[in-house]
């Protein structure tokens, strides 16, 4: 049987792939903090569901819905979950595909903080501009 935090993150990634923000909203704490490293247009710290959902909307809009995340594995314990992914997208005649890691802090069944890390941050920064 999978750890509850593994199930939580798998449910979240599935909901994201289906543009199901209602479900994602039930998985995030109201004061969730989302960290995107780098120097691109999507880099920064996003605080609260509203800002995180604005980021998700921007990613979807700018890629014309081509942004996809394939989950390879989820590792979880009582406080954290780590998700191994391959991400792909197209935007403005450019394409991106690369591996990444999402690290999540979970408390009381809700994601409270997330860090998104790419194997090639330079490629992410160039893609997003």
Provide the domain count of the chain. Answer: 1
pLDDT digits (tens, 9 = 90+) for 3-44: 999 999 999 999 999 999 999 999 999 999 999 999 999 999
- CATH label of the domain that carries residue 57: 3.10.450.50
The domain in which residue 79 lies consists of 4-128
* Phi and psi torsions of 24, nearest 5°: -55, -40
Cβ contact 55:87 at 8 Å: no
**pLDDT of amino acid 1:** 86
| pTM score of the predicted model | 0.94
Strand bridging mode 28-36 / 110-118: parallel
């Amino acid at each position: 049987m999978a750890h509850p935090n593994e199930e939580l993150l798998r449910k979240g990634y599935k909901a994201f792939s289906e543009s199901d923000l209602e479900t994602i909203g039930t998985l995030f704490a109201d004061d969730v903090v989302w960290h995107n490293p780098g120097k691109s247009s999507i880099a920064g710290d996003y605080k609260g569901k509203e800002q995180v959902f604005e980021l998700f909307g921007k990613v979807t809009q700018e890629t014309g819905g081509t942004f996809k995340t394939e989950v390879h594995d989820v590792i979880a314990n009582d406080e954290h979950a780590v998700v191994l992914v391959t991400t792909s997208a197209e935007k403005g005649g450019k394409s991106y595909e690369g591996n990444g890691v999402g690290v999540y802090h979970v408390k009381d069944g809700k994601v409270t903080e997330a860090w998104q890390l790419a194997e090639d941050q330079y490629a992410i920064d160039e893609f997003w501009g």
